[in-house]
Amino acid sequence: MSAHHGPAKGFTRWLTTTNHKDIGTMYLWFSFAMFILGGAFAMVIRAELFQPGIQIVDPEFFNQMTTMHGLVMVFGAIMPAFVGLANWLIPMMIGAPDMALPRMNNWSFWILPPTFLMLASTLFMDGGAPNYGWTFYAPLSTTYAPPSVTYFIFAIHLMGLSSIMGSINIIATVVNMRAPGMTYMKMPLFVWTWLITAFLLVAVMPVLAACVTMMLMDIHFGTSFFSAAGGGDPVLFQHIFWFFGHPEVYIIILPAFGVVSQIIPTFARKPLFGYDSMVYATASIAFLSFIVWVHHMYTVGIPVAGELFFMYATMLIAVPTGVKVFNWITTMWQGAMTFETPMLFCLGFVFLFTIGGFTGVMLSLAPVDFQYHDSYFVVAHFHYVMVAGAVFSMSAAVYYWLPKWTGKMYDEGMGKAHFWISFIGFNLTFFPQHFLGLAGMPRRIPDYALQFSDFNMMSSIGAFIYGASQLLFLFNVLRTILAGKPAPAEKAWEGAEGLEWTLPSPAPYHTFTTPPNVK
């Protein structure tokens, strides 16, 4: 291979790269770093909540921790992780040589590290980091915010910019660069879910940008979009935020659906059941995600007609989501299953995500939500769909494609240990939180009544276990890269299908420079 075709040497390779694999790799490592950072914040939270009373951090810092944990996990860990996967996999899955807009690709990644550096630096500023929750409701985040809020707003703008560029790139790639014969309805489901996710991102990221811009105006330029005293409305903030925020949760989970839909057929050695209905279900979920945002704000005093509309629309989401779960299970049905680490994580995903779906149906019912809202029941619910959903599927994806990426095989025993420790730690952390919420413990409090002590202690122990298990994950991945056994030449998995498995392992720096033919 001539120097022209290989990567440049040293740091410039990474700084100036336009190669989708390099950029994918950087996204993945960046998101893992953020996952550890956000996880460290979570450990502080759970350590403080280990016992009633204030032991480790004062309430003000506790609020900074809950806020930064949410922001870093959502915007720094989960979203970039899936963009990293998309970068690595979409070109290889559709038979393209690279992403359609490689230079923009470089930008959309390199915006992120300085952005999060800036966000993290607010921890050391006067008045501290953002402390108004990752949902940053006005006026707590405007009139009453610490001065660092301006940096926070700038950070959100930059993240939005990065996401929009990333999504445009994905759309352009999928629309224009599919190999001959790769019709839309032949695309791997991961590509489909990302295509739809990218449209969601392009649609809602500007709304988030508008939202924080209005905050900026309120804070620095004397407007009162969100202040009733000046003729504005704090509830307007919530409408705008959740118009972004609800699609956002699907932005996080749809690519996870895609991952699971790739992996389960491999280990069931049977094609995905109901491919077409999977595509339609994804599209319907995406559509519905735009008309359910008020279910995050049932208690703000929406007129009853509006409340009913949003309740019915929210309940409807259960239908396409159910279709997906049924399809996955039917894919396993009468297969010939084996249970390597990626499959274990996918099964964990299906099981736990479905539990999160059940609590989602419960939460959709407005009258009952008057009891659930803003309690730990909600915290439990969204961690079941975000952690057991998005994070489990990411772990599955890493184990599944690592042999393709690195040409090396990870340690299966350690992978399985990672799964089981995560699974136990996760459930020990979040299952008791259902009980806490139902018994009346509000979320985002640094200290609690004595009745809640036992389950909180359990939850904290679980969190420490879950957190520690991620170090095992890191160790396993590093060991694979540095000293893993060589992976099988092409297919790492007996049942794997798809163009990426026709490539050698590790995948060469440039692939599909001449498009493959898809039958």
Partner 1 sequence: MHLQAKRLSKLALSPVLMLLSMLGTAAWAEEAQRWQTNLTPGVTELGAKIYDLHMTVFWICVWIGVVVFGLMFYSILTHRKSLGAKPADFHESTSVEIAWTVVPFIILIVIAFPATKTLLEVYDTDDADLDVMITGYQWKWKYEYIDPNGDNVSFFSNLRTGKTEIYNEDAKGQHYLLEVDEPMVLPVNKKVRFLVTANDVIHAWWVPALAVKRDAIPGFINETWTKATQTGIYRGQCAELCGKDHGYMPIVVNVVEEAEYKNWLNEKKSQAAEIKALMSKNFSLDEQMAAGKEVYDKSCAACHGANGEGGVGKAIAKSPIATGALATHLDVGVNGVPGTAMQAFGGQINDVEMAAVITYQRNAFGNNMGDVVQPIDVYNFKQGK
Contact (CB, 8 A) for 299 and 369: yes
250: annotated active-site residue: yes
Local structure of residue 442 (DSSP, 8 states): B
Which region among 152-160, 208-216, 373-381, 507-515 touches partner 1 (by CB under 8 A)? 373-381
227 binds partner 1 (CB under 8 A): yes
CB of 333 to partner 1, least distance (A): 5
| Catalytic residue flag (residue 519) | no
Under the criterion CB under 8 A, does residue 63 sit at the interface with partner 1? yes
Q: How far is the CB of 404 from partner 1 (least distance, A)?
A: 22
> Any idea what DSSP says for residue 411?
-
d(CA 24, CA 324): 27
Q: Nearer Cβ to partner 1, position 206 or 442?
A: 442
Indicate which residue of 25, 31, 67, 163 is catalytic.
163
As measured in angstroms, the least distance from the Cβ of 482 to partner 1 is 31
Q: Which is nearer to partner 1, 17 or 321 (CB)?
A: 321
User: Is 103 among the catalytic positions?
Assistant: no
Q: Answer yes or no: are the C-beta atoms of 134 and 67 closer than 8 Å.
A: yes
Of 69 and 434, the one with the shorter C-beta distance to partner 1 is: 434
| Peptide bond preceding 147 in cis form (omega within 30 of 0) | no
Residue 434 a catalytic site member: no
CA distance 128 to 137: 17
Residue (of 72, 74, 54) closest to 62 by Cα position: 54
127: Cβ–Cβ under 8 A, 6 or more apart, which residues? Answer: 146, 147, 148
Q: Which is nearer to partner 1, 184 or 370 (CB)?
A: 370
**How many residues interact with partner 1 (rule CB under 8 A)?**
95
CB of 494 to partner 1, least distance (A): 9
Q: Which of 261, 289, 314, 429 is catalytic?
A: 261
Task: Find the catalytic residue in 186, 269, 416, 443.
Answer: 443
Residues 6+ apart with CB under 8 A from 339: 267, 347
283 binds partner 1, rule: CB under 8 A: no
Cα–Cα nearest to 68, from 143, 139, 138, 146: 146
Residue 269 appears among annotated catalytic residues? no
Q: Is the dihedral of CA 94, 97, 98, 99 positive or negative?
A: negative
Residue 65 touching partner 1 (CB under 8 A)? no
Interface positions, 229-248, toward partner 1 (CB under 8 A): 229, 233-235
Task: Decide if 69 is catalytic.
Answer: yes
**Among 275, 399, 426, 473, which residue interacts with partner 1 (rule: CB under 8 A)?**
275
State in angstroms the smallest separation of the CB of 67 from partner 1.
9
Member of 452, 466, 473, 501 binding partner 1 (CB under 8 A): 452
Among residues 5, 6, 15, 54, the one that binds partner 1 under rule CB under 8 A: 54
3-state secondary structure of 409: strand
For residue 411, indicate whether it is catalytic: no
* Rg of the chain in Å (alpha carbons): 23
Contacting partner 1 (CB under 8 A), which of 375, 427, 476, 505?
375
- Restricting to residues 116-175, name those near partner 1 by CB under 8 A: 131-133, 137, 139-140, 143-144
**Is residue 199 classed exposed, middle or buried when 0-12, 13-18 and 19+ CB atoms within 10 A define those classes?**
middle
- Per-residue interface string for the shown chain with partner 1, residues 294-333, x marking contact by CB under 8 A: -----xxx--x--xx--xx--xx-xx--xx-xx--xxxxx
Whether the Cβ atoms of residue 189 and residue 272 lie closer than 8 Å to each other: yes
Strand partners, 375: 442
Tokens of 490: 């092409």
Closest CB 39 distance from partner 1, rounded Å? 21
88 is a catalytic site residue = no
- Name which of residues 252 to 271 contact partner 1 (CB under 8 A): 268-271
Which contacts (CB < 8 Å, 24+ apart) does range 57-62 have? 57/446, 58/446, 59/446, 59/447, 60/128, 60/131, 61/128, 62/446
Residues tagged active-site: 69, 98, 134, 162-163, 246, 248, 250, 261, 295-296, 321, 324, 443
